[in-house]
Structure 1
Amino acid sequence: MTAQTPFPSASLLGYPRIGRRRELKKAVEAFWAGRTDAAALEATAREIRLGTARRLQDLGLTEPAAVPGTFSYYDQVLDVAAHVGAVPARFGNLLDGEGRLGLDGYFTLARGSKDQQPLEMTKWFDTNYHYLVPEIGPETDFSLTSERIVEEFSEARSAGIETRPYLVGPVTFLLLSKPSDEAPAGFEPLSRLEDLLPVYVELLGKLAEAGAGWVQLDEPALVVEQDLDAAALQAAVERSYQVLAAAGSRPRILVSTPYGALGDLLPTLAASSIDALHLDLFKGAVPSADQLAALEGKTLVAGVVDGHNIWRNDLQASANKLAELRRSVPSLAVSTSTSTQHVPHDVDEETKLSEQLRSWLAFADQKAVEVATLAKALQDPAAVQAELDKASAVIASRASAAGVRRAEVRERTAALTAADFAREDFAVRQAAQDAALALPPLPTTTIGSFPQTSDVRLARARANRGELTAAQYEQLMKDEIKRVVDLQEELGFDVLVHGEPERNDMVQYFAENLDGFDVTEHGWVQSYGSRCTRPSILWGDVTRPAPITVAWAEYAQSLTSKPLKGMLTGPVTILAWSFVRDDQPLGETANQVALALRDEIADLEAAGIKVIQVDEPALRELLPLRKADQPAYLDWSVNSFRLATAGAASGTQIHTHLCYSEFGAIIDAIDGLDADVTSIEAARSRMEVVNDLESHGFGRGVGPGVYDIHSPRVPAQREVRELLETAVAHVPARQLWVNPDCGLKTRGYEETVESLRNLVEATKEVRAALVADAR
């Protein structure tokens, strides 16, 4: 093992990696498009990495290993797969003569190719980040196939900065994996642990040889209740860190456990020979004195600053918590609860926000300062008492600020009764909708958005700069809506959408039109790969000053005799994809948003819109990681959707949409939404969801996606037909709809038109087969 470098007194668990102005996104997409080469992409990535390291040093994280080496070109789980050779057999052609995976191959795993489906993608714990799901089987040949993590450490060291290399830990990596296509029934990826650990040992040796003092192994899966025997999981954790700690040459090991309380596995890690243990003490409670005593000889890295939300830390409360810990733990360091990859870079750049709101916020840079301040408080509380007092004063001022609490909003939510959450029975609604809509079997539709062209984005930017009048901008959007409606008519879709050209984002658009929200200018965070979003800030009580979507939907409906879907984002997703106020229960905030949407639905109905989609792609995302906490969440989340939609007439068909989640875990909740039609991601997971739908006996309309829009590849007509045939084999055709996995905003028109044409033609083939079978 290398020299006994102490763990830094202040550190972050991770930092945003997309660049302060999304430089990585732009460089990666230019590489994909062939406008630049790998050398140019590598150069941009190096600038981002070194810029991050220097910035964090300037903010006070100056000790060796204080800067986390959490950079990734696409995803941290994919990075491990690339390092340990976990490349599925169908991608074997991507490896070079030495069995290594280059950048082109790396991105092909993430995005697929014309003939290869990419790795499945799903949510990273209870965040809006998506990770790529490794495929592991008995045939997976683990070996060290990349040393990029070592190269990046050496790069920073050459610049005079000792970073802390980062890897997803071996237990979490395997628990997040799925069996490969070649694996036998019942195979568990965790069964390959003994074969994987030597590769981690070899990689630790390479890091030690390069001079790394510490390495961070991230084990967030340990805070989740796994569908695995508790003793088997404990044995896997114990074995992993027995092997890794015993490595002859290695850096000191920090095991991080973000996103919740570690629970029953705390004694196992405390008894191991690792050198430091991170606990999420923002979401999790402080362990007992006896549990902390078991950490003797280890550094406790206390995650007391929230890495997942943007509100200013109560520094005095955190300092008190740290003082309590210090009585039980001789070696104590301060960090964030999670990586700050989930928040934007710097609140100081948000000059368009009010000074009052900015004072309430802490982005990644401010969290680094908070961590450094709390580390100083451990050494000399008096030296930073002024900073602690200032934070306390700001938090107190927020509670009494105008708009945070509005009497009329609270009176309305207090007056709700059970009747406000229920519609008529589905059989009644179905009959009314059949009469109103007269749709064919297997009706086709899309999820809502169509490609946002450069012309659309330019028009929005010009309107924001005042270079277009409101009337000019409106006409440009109407021109795009007509183009989208005409295209759907030409392709033969049954229920149309207006394409949402006027919307910058499915949450931000509503936030800009609801009181109680603000939006940022530079507050980008990574959702997956190069996809970035700007979460809005929900800081006060929510009201709808005026209709939001009605005029656009009414115009689009005037262009067609076919049903046109009104498109809304649901209350849970608006919460999940915003930075939500932390001063009241989430369910209370959700009901405020739901009432605003309820009013919007009423106005859409009055404008003649007969189909209204209320998207809830984030329903699974906010599900608590501990099963004991899940029923309460599912109760308020489902009820907020029902509150938004229960005012609709029986003849109004309510759709919802969900994506990239393990739906089997919440199938009862999905059923409880009581939507007339539910569209669900299914293409990328190869229609796995239909088994859950069949076993549950799901009885209303459902559209399992047949076109994976998160990949640039165009699905062949035959491929779509096969997916649809699989769905028909498990779900009654009377209930089935045909649609893509998700909205088409991020795709280009050429690939979109070809894919949608294949979707419609495949549907015609399956319809014809159903008619023939009926005869």
Structure 2
Amino acid sequence: MLKHNLGYPRIGIRRELKKVCEAYWSNKIDSNALFEVGKKIREENWKTQDKADLDLIPCNDFSFYDHVLDMSLLLGVVSEPYLSIPVIHNHNNNIDLYFSMARGFQKNGWDIKAMEMTKWFNTNYHYIVPEFDKNQKFSIFSNKIFDELEESKNILKSIKKIKPVLIGPVSYLFLGKEKEKSFHKMDLIENIIPIYIKIINKLKDKGINWIQLDEPILVLDMSEKEKKVFKYAYGEISKFCSKINILLTSYFDGISENISLLQDVSVQALHIDLVENSNQLEQVLSFFSKESKMILSLGLIDGRNIWKNNYANSIQKIKRTIESIGEDRVMIAPNCSLLHVPIDIEYENSIHIDIKNKMSFAKQKIYELNDLEKIVKGNKSILLSNSYILKKSSSIFHDKKIKERTTKITEQDIQRKNPFHIRQKKQKKKFHLPLFPTTTIGSFPQTKEIRSLRNKFRKKELSQEKYDEKIKNFIIYVIKEQEKIDLDVLVHGEFERTDMVEYFSDKLKGILSTDNGWVQSYGSRCVKPPVIYGDIDRVGDMTVEWICFAQSKTKKLIKGMLTGPVTILQWSFVRDDQPISLTAYQIAWAIREEVLSLEKSGIQMIQIDEPALREGLPLKKKNWKSYFDWSIKAFRLSSSVVKDETQIHTHMCYSEFNDIFKHIADLDADVITMETSRSKMELLKAFSVFSYPNEIGPGVYDIHSPRIPTVEEIFDLIEKASKKLPIKNIWINPDCGLKTRKWKEVLISLKNMTKAAKMARIKLSPHS
């Protein structure tokens, strides 16, 4: 029984990757210093996994920005605009070319936008979307995978332990997009497969015995075309790569609907996710019993949550598999890459011992594989100890009154008093906003000064009074800057908040924040997902004081800023001892109470952000209804308590929304703001078939790139939106919050945005 891992976190235990990338982008270090830190992180990761006695250890799972972008560079999928920049092409091992694709390039007279970014399946990780031409050529463009293989040989000593990781060809094409409508991306399979075969055989020639090909497309509702392409791709790989062991991996759900695709495929092993879908095991075993050689890899350890593995449940699955196909045909592993969890629980010093004892981060999870192997070999004490820890209860986990509240939600609790068309008339009469009203999504730059201030307060080097005074000074500054720019609806800047979810976790009962539980979201952006360990309750006002202070400093409208229940849930590590819907309702009640408190304090616009609504959607459409039933109910529970005149906003970003607009409309928010600029307003295609009833702000510039948009390009996007949406319903705003950007670029970009909005009021007004 082989133990292996699908991927390890790449940010470094102290976020070394974030710090070194940002130093490089700021021209504070050269590429040699950048590469050196990357090398140290890889070496540490390999040593950790080797020490845990894994039989197969992943290689090429490290990335300076995104593993999908790495694949694009490896396969030569680089668009002409980036190749045309002479100052970056073929310089520094293509690292500047690579970063320009991820972040855009605005320098020395060049102005090229970043590539589109979206969510990796139903996770909070963002990937850079590959872009394909009709006659797309593929080649081995980057040597990263081969260079890192040579590094790993020096660390791991035995080449038999090294398992290079690649996104499989079918999933890679699926994750990309066509630049033009005249072809289907899956038609490129015949072009791309020869390059995959070259890469695989080159790895084999370097002594590699196992290679991991990730094909998460197998857990989706595959089209007939995708199924045909899959059979062709792996028929060719089986034919031309017969002397290397290929581990075909699926994760995030089950493959039952697509298992017949493996009928004539000759790969050595298949990995299935038994955390997200344990029901598939019997069907997969039935298929395997008819096969003579294929190995089954069981994904048993949860790579997306931080709770200890239930050894009894895992052992049951292992024994059932051994009984069916034999121990020599069984592998065990986490269900997916450990990219989605923090690195080491031992760096947490402030978590209550009863909670910490139930937790497991990436380093601990690979040791759990060792425990499972020992239990299979007869060590009962490990099993008993695990069972005792998981069953041990505590009053900190449960609150009877909170549980009872979620069972008493009425229809009245989730309905606004009147439908939107009535509310809209009252709100327009009250607010007197111009056409194309301008606003931002909420946050403004979190500078070194602010982070230092927060750090001093946390270390008790600064009193509460001094801290509050300085935060208020930042709020006064941002109010003045927004007034100078002439935005119509202002925000307080969120300077008191570390993160849009973590901030609320610190103020709610039943949720905790970690000290060092960092997880990569995209590029150098790392987040610390809170841990929902118990029943959730609001113990007092969370935002009211700051929002009301901001409103007192301006005659313009200030939006109250909250994070919605689905996003708090989705961007946290959630308790696994009750239905997720009940946890969502508990959070929704807490947000509802805050909404009511803001309204009573005179705040007339309240934004309840739900950027994670789409990413939480089950991967199979048959499961969508039950998800939307509870997620929409949770949002409406949090937002429906206000008067008609109080305007509820929400925000969503960096996911595909075209297929769920009906459900977004069911949220019944008065205004929704969404990402559209990176995709050049592609989102608006949805409005050709669905008439969105409420007001909407399709984001007009990309905040994840440092480039500054021009007035003309913003106006162009507004004009596109005005052709698809009623002009009276359109808001003008950036794609997302501005906390990761620098002040200079933010202020210029927002000035350009307001100029474009004013231009639109003149040129696009129905009366012009």
**TM-score, normalised on structure 2?**
0.96
Q: Structure 1: how far apart are the matches of 2:405 and 2:312?
A: 36
Mapping for residues 25-424 of structure 1, pairs under 5 Å: 25-61=18-54, 63=55, 65-94=56-85, 102-114=94-106, 115-161=111-157, 162=159, 163-180=162-179, 183=180, 185-226=181-222, 228-229=223-224, 232-247=225-240, 251-269=244-262, 271-284=264-277, 285=279, 286-288=281-283, 289-330=285-326, 331-378=329-376, 380=377, 382-383=378-379, 385-397=380-392, 400-423=393-416, 424=418
- Structure 1 pair 509/332, CA: closer, same or farther in 2 (3 Å)? same
Structure 1, residues 531-578: CA drift from partner, whole Å, max 9, x if none?
A: 100000001110011000000000000011111000000000000100
Q: CA RMSD in A?
A: 1.6
Deviation of the 1:694 alpha carbon? 4.2
SS of corresponding position for 1:328: helix
Q: Secondary structure at the match of 1:246?
A: helix
Contact 1:271/1:295 (8 A) holds in 2:
no
Give 2:733's aligned amino acid. Answer: N
Instruction: Name the residue aligned to 1:609.
Output: 603
- Identify the residue that residue 563 of structure 1 maps to in structure 2: 557
1:468 paired with 2:462, answer yes
Alignment deviations for residues 299-358 of structure 1 (CA, whole Å, 9 cap, x no partner): 111101111111111101101110001112231010011111100001121111111111
Q: Give secondary structure in 2 for the equivalent of 1:689.
A: helix
Alpha-carbon spacing, 1:52–1:295, altered in 2? closer, same or farther (3 Å): farther
Q: Mapping of 1:655-674 within 5 angstroms?
A: 655-674=649-668
- Structure 1 counterpart of 2:543: 549
> What residue number does 1:715 align with?
709
Cα distance per residue 1:111-140 (max 9 Å; x no partner): 111211111110101111011110112232
- Note the C-alpha offset of 1:159: 2.7
CA distance in 2 between counterparts of 1:270 and 1:130 reads 33
Alignment-mate amino acid for residue 293 of structure 1: S
Contact 1:432–1:650 (CA under 8 A) maintained in structure 2: yes
Taking a change above 3 Å as real, the CA distance of residues 193 and 742 of structure 1, as seen in their structure-2 partners, is same
Question: Do the aligned residues in 2 keep the contact of 1:677 with 1:703 (CA within 8 Å)?
Answer: yes
Deviations 1:504-557 (A, max 9, x none): 000000000000001101100000111100000001110011000000000000
Does the 8 Å contact 1:513/1:548 carry over to 2?
A: yes
Q: Give the residue type in structure 1 aligned to 2:391.
A: A
- Cα distance in 2 for partners of 1:692, 1:13 equals 36
Structure 2 equivalent of residue 4 of structure 1: none
Aligned equivalents of 2:715, 2:460: Cα separation in 1:
48
- Indicate the SS of the match to 1:395: helix
Q: Is the 8 A contact 1:87 1:140 kept in 2?
A: no
Mapped to 2, the partners of 1:99 and 1:754 lie a distance apart of 30
Q: Which residue identity does 2:262 align to in structure 1?
A: L
**Residue 490 of structure 1: how far off its partner (Å):** 0.3
Q: CA deviation at 1:94?
A: 4.9
Q: Secondary structure at 2:115's aligned position in 1?
A: coil
Q: Separation in 2 of the partners of 1:98 and 1:472?
A: 51
Off by >6 Å, runs of 4+ in structure 1? 95-101
Q: Is 2:124–2:571's contact at 8 Å kept on the other side of the alignment?
A: yes
Q: Tell me the SS of whatever aligns to 1:556.
A: helix
Q: 1:150: how far off?
A: 1.1
Partner of 1:574: helix, strand, or coil? helix
> Is 1:622 the counterpart of 2:616 in the alignment?
yes
CA-to-aligned-CA distance 1:701-744 (integer Å, 9 cap, x gap): 10000010011110011111101111111111100000000000
Deviation at 1:234, TM superposition (A): 2.2
Summarize deviations over 1:420-461 as a string: whole Å, max 9, x none.
000021122112211221111110000000001111111100
Q: Which residue identity does 1:195 align to in structure 2?
A: N
Secondary structure at the residue paired with 2:381? helix
Cα distance in 1, alignment partners of residues 176 and 60 from structure 2: 23
CA contact (8 A) 1:166 1:218 kept: yes
Matches within 5 A, 1:589-738: 589-738=583-732
Q: What is the distance in 2 between the residues matched to 1:362 and 1:158?
A: 29
Residue type of the alignment partner of 1:187: F
Report the Cα distance in structure 1 between the residues aligned to 2:291 and 2:100, rounded to whole angstroms: 43
Residue 282 of structure 2 aligns to a residue in which SS? Answer: coil
Please say which of residues 406-415 and 677-686 is displaced more in the overlay: 406-415
753-762 or 80-89, larger mean C-alpha shift: 80-89
Question: Could you tell me which amino acid in structure 2 is paired with residue 435 of structure 1?
Answer: K
TM-score scaled to structure 1, two decimals? 0.95
Secondary structure of the residue aligned to 1:526 is strand
Q: Report the alpha carbon displacement of residue 761 of structure 1 after superposing the two structures with TM.
A: 0.3
SS at match of 1:460: helix
Is the CA contact (8 Å cut-off) linking 1:66 and 1:164 kept in structure 2?
A: yes
Distance 1:302 1:415 in 2: 40
The match for 1:23 among 3, 11, 16 is 16
3-state DSSP of counterpart to 1:53: helix
- SS of equivalent to 1:216: strand
Contact preservation (8 Å) 1:120, 1:133: yes
CA distance in 2, matches of 1:566, 1:555: 11
Residue 759 of structure 1 aligns with which residue?
753
Q: Distance in 2 between matches of 1:413 and 1:99?
A: 58
The whole-number CA distance in structure 2 between the counterparts of 1:568 and 1:139 is: 47
Which of 520, 526, 534 is equivalent to 2:514?
A: 520
Which ranges of structure 2 fall in alignment gaps of 5 or more residues? none
Partners of 2:263 and 2:36 lie apart in 1 by 41
Matches of 1:598 and 1:436 in 2, distance apart?
23
Decide whether the 8 Å contact of 1:302 with 1:333 is kept in 2. yes
- Judge conservation of contact 1:257–1:279 (CA < 8 Å) in 2: yes
Q: Which of the numbers 3, 9, 13 marks the counterpart of 2:6?
A: 13
Measured after TM superposition, the shift of residue 220 of structure 1 is 0.7
Q: For residues 564 and 402 of structure 1, what CA distance do their matches in structure 2 show?
A: 40
Cα gap change, 1:99 to 1:753, in 2 (>3 Å)? closer
Q: In structure 1, what is the Cα distance between the partners aligned to 2:364 and 2:330? A: 21
Deviations 1:208-250 (A, max 9, x none): 1222111111011111114x32xx2222112111212222576
Task: Report the counterpart of residue 439 of structure 1 in structure 2.
Answer: 433
Cα offset, 1:98, TM superposition? 7.8
Matches of 2:7 and 2:32, distance apart in 1: 26
